[in-house]
């Protein structure tokens, strides 16, 4: 690794300070995002919604996101989190269904039997694919010994995640006036679940075939999320959807936490839609989720705001007999997640500084000579080094002349010249004095 001289280090530090001052003093144009983005997605017959991008950890759209609403079936996302973490690496663990478990079940169910032996993984699939309430109750008992103890774990996890406006009363999402959440909290919880191995795979399947048990033959269980499966409705399937959970209660309305991805572009979105109505047979949790996804895929993408082929500036070069300047380019390209309506050629600005005003040959291609910062409005998008595009050899003749010139302009040379002049003058004066003495002596002799 090449060592950096104190002079070079000082120059780089000075350049960095100058760059910071330049950025501080420069009057930057202000770009209002609403001026360059497409219209926000149409949200209808809905109490709360939120749209989030995973790769850039960014909320793109909010609608009443902090308003407290009923979670409905989205509560099962937290049920899955608690159960999957409790049985991490042991999803094949067995649970024997009891009548006491089944007596607690209300709403949608698979229809398990007392005495039936099932696995944790089977119950997770039944709950997440078909939104089965009996599977959620069985998981609660199998995990914590009772529904109440399990609900306590759900609330502890919500608080740990920072979902402070969420409170659970059961693991199914069945209505309870005290059970509330917000779109923001649901997004936090869904983001966490998304990262748990196996969660998205379970929620993405259109159907799940559960193997036979000690009591029942195999069961074919279809996904109730109509973005994933067209078994219950054929008009909402979304080709880029990759799972999560949907459901409804009378009081909570139609709800969904859904994910969609574009693999080629490397974009994954999370849509949270809560408290929707059904109007003229239209389920607005799906209508709104699809609208939000369509808007996101159209409104945002990655843009190259800095290319390694972009010539930023030129620096004069000395001691070369063939080239008198070298061009500088960015050391790396910068791609940024931006609104698709941003015109990179017009809306993106650059601020750069070089470490030196000129360079002396020899110069190697790729030598770091400065820094460049990319700006969008008042936002810094990124920065990187500026490097030389080519190697330049040194002219030895010009180098010799420069050394002679440098020597002639040095203190030692100037001191030597002055000393010679002074000594010469002294010599002349001494010689003149001696001649004068000789002449005087000669004059006395002839008198």
Q: State mean pLDDT over 329-358.
A: 94
Could you give the 3-state DSSP secondary structure of residue 295? helix
In a domain, 66, yes or no: yes
User: Bridge-partner residues for 180, per DSSP?
Assistant: 167
* Site of tokens 């000082």: 10
In a domain, 38, yes or no: no
Q: How confident is the model at residue 376 (pLDDT cuts 50, 70, 90)?
A: very high
Tens of pLDDT, residue by residue over 166-205, are 999 999 999 999 999 999 999 999 999 999 999 999 999 9
- The stretches of 60-207 forming alpha helices (DSSP H) are 75-86, 99-103, 120-130, 133-144, 147-161, 183-194, 199-204
- Same domain, yes or no, for 240 and 358? no
- Same domain, yes or no, for 335 and 194? no
- Show the domain range for 91: 48-298
Q: State mean pLDDT over 406-420.
A: 61
Percent of the chain residues topping a pLDDT of 70: 83
Whether residue 336 is predicted with pLDDT greater than 80 in this model: the reply is yes
Tens of pLDDT, residue by residue over 92-138, are 999 999 999 999 999 999 999 999 999 999 999 999 999 999 999 99
- Same domain, yes or no, for 285 and 336? no
The distance between the two most distant Cα atoms of the chain, rounded to a whole number of Å, is 156
Please tell me the predicted confidence (pLDDT) of residue 411.
Answer: 65
Return the sign of the alpha-carbon dihedral for residues 67, 73, 77, 79. positive
Please tell me the predicted confidence (pLDDT) of residue 437.
Answer: 73
Cβ neighbours of 145 (radius 10 Å):
10
Whether residue 15 is predicted with pLDDT greater than 50 in this model: the reply is no
Could you give the 3-state DSSP secondary structure of residue 303? strand
Residue of 411 and 204 predicted with greater confidence? 204
The C-alpha atoms of residue 202 and residue 212 are separated, in whole angstroms, by 19
Exposure of 166 in the CB half-sphere (CA atoms within 13 A): 33
Q: State mean pLDDT over 341-362.
A: 92
The C-alpha atoms of residue 120 and residue 115 are separated, in whole angstroms, by 15
Whether residue 29 is predicted with pLDDT greater than 70 in this model: the reply is no
In a domain, 328, yes or no: yes
In a domain, 209, yes or no: yes
- Same domain, yes or no, for 266 and 314? no
State residue 13 phi and psi, 5-degree precision.
-65, -40
DSSP, residue by residue, 6-31: HHHHHHHHHHHHHHHHHHHHS-PPP-
The C-alpha atoms of residue 409 and residue 431 are separated, in whole angstroms, by 32
Contacts of 213 by beta carbon, 8 Å cutoff, 6+ apart? 116, 117, 118
In a domain, 235, yes or no: yes
Please tell me the predicted confidence (pLDDT) of residue 4.
Answer: 40
Domain of residue 323, CATH code: 2.60.410.10
Is 355 in contact with 289 (CB distance < 8 Å)? Answer: no
Domain of residue 192, CATH code: 3.40.710.10
Q: How confident is the model at residue 322 (pLDDT cuts 50, 70, 90)?
A: confident
Tokens, residue 422 = 């002074």
- Among 188-197, 373-382, 402-411, the minimum mean pLDDT is found in 402-411
Whether residue 400 is predicted with pLDDT greater than 80 in this model: the reply is no
- Same domain, yes or no, for 237 and 108? yes
CA 405 to chain centre: 54
- Same domain, yes or no, for 158 and 283? yes
Q: Which long-range contacts (CB under 8 A, 24 or more apart) does 224-231 make?
A: 224/108, 224/129, 224/130, 224/131, 225/256, 225/258, 226/283, 226/286, 227/256, 227/258, 227/260, 227/286, 227/289, 227/290, 228/203, 228/204, 230/206, 231/206, 231/207
In a domain, 100, yes or no: yes
Tens of pLDDT, residue by residue over 42-100, are 899 999 999 999 999 999 999 999 999 999 999 999 999 999 999 999 999 999 999 99
Burial readout 329-363 (b: 16 or more C-beta within 10 A, e: otherwise): bbeeebebbbbeebeeeebbeebbbbbeeebbbeb
Q: Are strands 359-360 and 313-318 parallel, antiparallel or unpaired?
A: parallel
The C-alpha atoms of residue 250 and residue 70 are separated, in whole angstroms, by 10
Please tell me the predicted confidence (pLDDT) of residue 393.
Answer: 81
């Amino acid at each position: 690794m090449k060592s950096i001289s104190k002079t070079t280090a000082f120059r780089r530090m000075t350049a960095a300070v100058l760059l910071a001052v330049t950025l501080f003093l420069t009057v930057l144009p202000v770009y209002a995002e609403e001026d360059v983005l497409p219209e926000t997605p149409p949200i209808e017959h809905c109490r709360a919604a939120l749209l989030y991008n995973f790769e850039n950890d960014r909320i793109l759209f909010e609608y009443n996101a902090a308003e407290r609403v009923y979670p409905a079936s989205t509560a099962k996302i937290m049920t899955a989190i608690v159960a999957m973490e409790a049985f991490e690496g042991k999803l094949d663990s067995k649970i024997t269904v009891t009548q006491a478990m089944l007596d607690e079940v209300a709403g949608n169910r698979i229809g398990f039997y007392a005495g039936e032996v099932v696995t944790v993984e089977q119950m997770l699939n039944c709950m997440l694919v078909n939104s089965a309430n009996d599977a959620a109750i069985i998981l609660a008992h199998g995990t914590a010994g009772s529904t109440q103890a399990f609900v306590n774990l759900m609330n502890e996890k919500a608080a740990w995640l920072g979902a402070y406006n969420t409170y659970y009363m059961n693991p199914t999402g069945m209505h309870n006036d005290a059970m509330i959440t917000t779109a923001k909290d649901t997004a936090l919880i869904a983001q966490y679940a998304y990262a748990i191995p196996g969660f998205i795979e379970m929620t993405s399947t259109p159907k799940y075939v559960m193997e036979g048990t000690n009591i029942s033959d195999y069961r074919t269980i279809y996904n109730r999320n109509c973005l994933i499966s067209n078994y219950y409705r054929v008009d909402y399937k979304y080709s880029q959807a990759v799972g999560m959970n949907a459901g409804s209660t009378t009081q909570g309305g139609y709800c969904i936490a859904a994910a969609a991805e574009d693999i080629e572009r490397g974009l994954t979105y999370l849509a949270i839609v809560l408290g929707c109505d059904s109007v003229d047979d239209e389920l607005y949790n799906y209508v709104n989720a699809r609208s939000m996804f369509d808007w996101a895929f159209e409104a945002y993408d990655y843009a190259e705001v800095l290319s390694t082929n972009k010539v930023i500036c030129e620096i004069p070069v000395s001691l070369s007999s063939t080239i008198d300047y070298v061009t500088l380019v960015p050391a790396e390209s910068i791609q940024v997640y931006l609104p698709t309506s941003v015109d990179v050629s017009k809306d993106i600005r650059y601020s750069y500084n070089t470490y030196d005003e000129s360079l002396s040959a020899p110069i190697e291609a790729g030598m770091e000579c400065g820094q460049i910062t990319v700006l969008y409005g008042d936002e810094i998008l990124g920065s990187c080094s500026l490097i030389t595009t080519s190697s330049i050899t040194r002219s030895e003749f010009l180098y010799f002349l420069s050394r002679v010139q440098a020597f002639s302009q040095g203190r030692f040379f100037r001191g030597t010249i002055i000393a010679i002049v002074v000594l010469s003058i002294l010599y002349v004066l001494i010689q003149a004095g001696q001649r004068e003495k000789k002449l005087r002596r000669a004059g006395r002799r002839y008198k």
